[in-house]
Amino acid sequence: MVKIGIIGASGYTGQELVRVLARHPKVEITSVTSERFAGAAIADIFPSLKGLIDLRLSELSVQRIAGESDFIFAALPHGTSMGVVKECIKAGKKVVDLSADFRLKDPDLYERWYGKHSCPDLLQEAIYGLPELYRDEIKGGQLVANPGCYPTGAILALAPLLEQGMISPVGIIIDAKSGVSGAGRNPSMTNLFGEVAEGLKAYGVAKHRHAPEMEQELSSRAGKQIHILFVPHLIPINRGLLSTIYARTNGELSTEQAYGVLRRRYGKEPFVRLCSPGAFPATMEVRGSNYCDLGVMVDERSGQLIVISAIDNLVKGASGQAVQNMNIMCGFPETMGLEQIPLAP
């Protein structure tokens, strides 16, 4: 059994890691941390876990966690994570970091969007943890930077179309909607029920921190620098992320041809499902699962391609993908522990 430490286990992605890993046949969770709830049983702060896991949260000590575990998930806010991850790597542990701290390759870009990086040397070493793009690199990685939730949905939708030159890299628009759990469990006024329920609002318009991450990965697919327009929205659901993406086609392209590109690229992928040509995914159809569902259509009148992706932000957008990466890093079957069927009504 691989012993697992989860740093930041009292947050939403930490809870989701526990939910998925508690039933994983090849691992045992040995340490879970929280500063606010140190000493409490994890099932007391997440009652959905009662009777399933008997572990107490403890304060963060990398030395202790490294002594108790073989593999570490860091589910901390960006900025806090980098120093902790560096210590875990020094202790020789394999790490999946769920924060944004190791996703960008360029330290200047990190500084522009997030602030100064304390261990820029690790940025080149970290593998961007999108298995559908970097499976071979993840296999040998010690540090995997788990992608952001919005980038996961957008990159999976666009990568094959850019790789095949089917769409123009200029003028791509990503209009995305996320549920409230995307903002984490720490209370804030903007995320109160009264502020979110029965409404819909855009935020971070054209300046959200996930834009440079998408641009880094989409540019590498297109073979040239890409600038996208990204507008995220907050919607009154707990989990779920739907991205509606618009791109100009390169010459004549039919819906069937665009669908064929996605099918050839993802036909054997266990966690990418395609809607039939002209049909589109829904957050409810992936809820609680590690699937990314994609639907594509070409509007021949306007010459625009529309590709829509749906994921559960806490599963394929965070903790499920983190476990998928762990499975690859540990040589387990990639789908192990991740076979949950979506929780449609």
Ligand X SMILES: NC(=O)c1ccc[n+]([C@@H]2O[C@H](COP(=O)([O-])OP(=O)(O)OC[C@H]3O[C@@H](n4cnc5c(N)ncnc54)[C@H](OP(=O)(O)O)[C@@H]3O)[C@@H](O)[C@H]2O)c1
Name the β-bridge partners of 143: 95
Task: In angstroms, give the least distance from the CB of 14 to ligand X.
Answer: 5
Q: Which residue is it, tokens 């123009």?
A: 168
User: Among all residues, whose Cβ is closest to ligand X?
Assistant: 11
Strand, helix or coil at 191? Answer: helix
Rounded to a whole number, what is the distance in angstroms from the first to the last CA of the chain?
35
Cα–Cα distance for residue pair 56/39, rounded to 1 Å: 6
Considering the complex, state which of residue 15 and residue 249 has its C-beta at the smaller distance from ligand X.
15
Strand, helix or coil at 146? Answer: coil
Angle, helix 131-139 to helix 320-330, in steps of 10 degrees = 40
Assess whether 275 carries a catalytic annotation. no
* CA dist list (Å): 16 to 182, 213, 326: 12, 23, 14
Considering the complex, state which of residue 158 and residue 241 has its C-beta at the smaller distance from ligand X.
241
In the complex, which residues of this chain contact ligand X (CB under 6 A)? Answer: 8-14, 34-37, 60, 75-78, 80, 98-99, 148-149, 181-182, 184-186, 313-314, 317-318
Task: In angstroms, give the least distance from the CB of 13 to ligand X.
Answer: 3
Task: In angstroms, give the least distance from the CB of 261 to ligand X.
Answer: 27
Name the β-bridge partners of 2: 27
Considering the complex, state which of residue 169 and residue 240 has its C-beta at the smaller distance from ligand X.
240
Angle, helix 255-266 to helix 149-163, in steps of 10 degrees = 110
Task: In angstroms, give the least distance from the CB of 130 to ligand X.
Answer: 12
Considering the complex, state which of residue 19 and residue 78 has its C-beta at the smaller distance from ligand X.
78
Catalytic residue among 88, 119, 149, 292: 149
Report which of 96, 107, 91 is spatially closest to residue 134, judged by C-alpha positions: 96
Question: Which residues are marked as active site?
Answer: 149
